[in-house]
Homo-oligomer: A and B are copies of this chain.
Amino acid sequence: MQTPEPLGATRPTSKDVARAAGVSQATVSLVLGEKWRGRVSERTAGTVREAARELGYRPNLAARNLRLGRTRTALLVVPALTNEFFAHVYTGAAAVAADHGFGVVLYPSPDGVGPARDPFASAQTALDGVLASSMATAALEAFRGGELPLVMLDSDPADTGAAAHVNLDVARGMRLVTAHLLALGHRRFLHLASAAPSWTFDVRAAALGEALRGAEVRTVRSPLTVAAAREAAGAALAAPGPRPTAVVCDDDILAAGVCKAARRLGLRVPEDLSVTGFDDMALATAVEPELTTVRLPAEEFGRRGMEALLAVLAGEPARSDVLPAELVPRGSTGPAPAP
């Protein structure tokens, strides 16, 4: 006797439907596969569909996609989904995938706590391709030189190993921010950078350094939480010496922390201190004053990434892409205070 097999009741198969409809299994497959024109009579097709409905039949997609390389499933590798940005990326990627009959499974890697096991096993399914963010640093190693087609999001285009790269023009975003602040008369800056190592943050730092050549710039790193940013910014703003008049942040979350630190020090934003964010997530307009920030088209980013991956899978020439970033001036920046 076998194990009691308490796992879900065994569902009806195409064979069961065939028996109920009085036809062969192949006919059921033809009818339900929507490719029966001229192969099965309208009457029989109706009977089959009725029987399928009656039994509550649903095809076993695992069986359907048995052949390797045709599972129509992509893996999305991102840092923790609790970062709103990546929730948007997922939304975009999943939408495009769905339009092409593809599914998306997630491989979220909360920094350090990521699944220590085989990433493919943890995805619990066979995969056709991988769409990975360069911010998921730890997890990424597992896919380097992997045998699966790989499209990278926001990673160094010079990096080989990926079939295509879709990037955000964060360098331009940073240039827009610095130009905005320079025009407002700011000359002493604090750059509150992300402590997480990632190409996209390296690019931001480089662009900022380039644009502010000659100005006074101090850099402090912080994890991507409001509390951590508040501590880091608080310490930096209270340090001896002339105080910066503008803080450029790598993320809206960091900017929100800076605003809190400023308030705690009795500094008004933007009268005493200008603050800029990055990403333009919901948080940017939830705080007061609303954050001047750089809008990144997160959902479009996910869409374009998935489109590139699907193109690669279809054997089309891989189309790498760079999406524009845009300055959104709001209330957290203003003229530099008189010296």
Tell me the minimal C-beta distance from A142 to chain B in angstroms. Answer: 11
Residues of B contacting A121 with CB < 8 Å?
A: 61
Contact at B7–A128, with CB atoms within 8 Å? Answer: yes
A10 at the interface (CB under 8 A from B): yes
A41 at the interface (CB under 8 A from B): no
Tell me the minimal C-beta distance from A232 to chain B in angstroms. Answer: 15
Residue-wise interface mask of A (256-288) relative to B, using a CB-CB cutoff of 8 A (1 in contact, 0 not): 110110010000000000000000001101111
Contact at A253–B315, with CB atoms within 8 Å? Answer: no
Residues of B contacting A129 with CB < 8 Å?
A: 8
Contact at A60–B315, with CB atoms within 8 Å? Answer: no
Q: Give the residue name and chain of the B residue nearest to A121 (CB).
A: B61
Within 8 A of B (CB), among A82-122: 82, 84, 87-88, 90-91, 94, 98, 101-106, 108, 110, 115, 117-118, 120-122
Contact flag A88-B82 (CB < 8 Å), given A60-B66, A129-B8: yes
Tell me the minimal C-beta distance from A74 to chain B in angstroms. Answer: 10
Contact at B287–A287, with CB atoms within 8 Å? Answer: yes
Contact at B13–A68, with CB atoms within 8 Å? Answer: yes
Contact at B6–A225, with CB atoms within 8 Å? Answer: no
A322 at the interface (CB under 8 A from B): no
Contact flag A103-B103 (CB < 8 Å), given A7-B70, A128-B7: no
**Residue among A13, A62, A108, A263 with max Cβ neighbours from chain B (10 Å):** A62
Contact at B108–A94, with CB atoms within 8 Å? Answer: yes
Among the listed B61, B82, B226, which residue makes an inter-chain contact with A286, where contact means beta carbons less than 8 Å apart? B226
Contact at B126–A62, with CB atoms within 8 Å? Answer: yes
Contact at B253–A286, with CB atoms within 8 Å? Answer: yes
Residues of B contacting A81 with CB < 8 Å?
A: 81, 87, 90-91
Tell me the minimal C-beta distance from A233 to chain B in angstroms. Answer: 13
A147 at the interface (CB under 8 A from B): yes
A182 at the interface (CB under 8 A from B): no
Contact flag A6-B91 (CB < 8 Å), given A81-B81, A103-B122: no
Q: Give the residue name and chain of the B residue nearest to A262 (CB).
A: B288
Contact at A6–B314, with CB atoms within 8 Å? Answer: yes
Among the listed B98, B108, B122, B283, which residue makes an inter-chain contact with A91, where contact means beta carbons less than 8 Å apart? B108
Q: Identify 11 new A-B residue pairs, CB closer than 8 A, beyond the known A104-B106, A260-B288, A287-B287.
A: A10-B68, A11-B69, A62-B66, A73-B125, A80-B91, A81-B81, A98-B122, A102-B124, A103-B123, A263-B288, A288-B288
Q: Which 8 pairs show the lowest CB-CB distances between chains A and B? A: A6-B315, A103-B124, A8-B69, A81-B87, A256-B286, A62-B62, A82-B87, A62-B126
